[in-house]
Amino acid sequence: MPQVEIRVKGRIDEHWSDWLEGLTITHIERNETILTGPIVDQSALYGLLTKLRDLGLPLLAVHCEGMDDWETGPVGQNAWPGLDPSNGQSE
C-alpha cells in the first residue's frame, strides 16, 4: 500500500489521528507536524489534504511512495483529454 508523508506548519494534537485517516502524528521542533502512514488511493490523499486545508494548516510538503500501485484508470487512458500528464500543459 502506498505510504504518505505530509508536513504542515503548526501542531496537530494526537486526538486528530482517527479523523486524519489514522496517520501517525509527529511533532518536530520548528512548530511543524509530520503525518505519516498508508493511504489507500489518490482520492483518499486529496480528501486528507482537504481536511488539512479546512483546519487552516499551511501545507509544507507532501511525499508519496508506491503511487505506482494506485489504479488511475485503464493503462494509457488519460482522464483529461488534451492534457499531457508528463508536463501538465494543454495541447
Residue for cell digits 503548526? 10
Question: Tell me, what's the pLDDT at 41?
Answer: 87
Name the CATH code of domain 3-68 (choices 3.40.190, 3.40.50, 3.90.1570, 3.30.70): 3.30.70
The pLDDT > 70 percentage for the chain reads: 75
**Per-domain residue ranges for the chain?**
3-68
Structure confidence by residue, pLDDT tens digits, 43-63 = 899 999 999 999 999 999 999
At residue 27, the pLDDT reads 95
Strand partners, 4: 37, 64
How far apart are the C-alpha atoms of 75 and 57, rounded to whole Å?
A: 35
- Rounded distance, CA 7 to CA 16, Å? 15
CB of 8 within 8 A of CB of 57?
yes
User: Is it the case that residue 91 has pLDDT exceeding 80?
Assistant: no
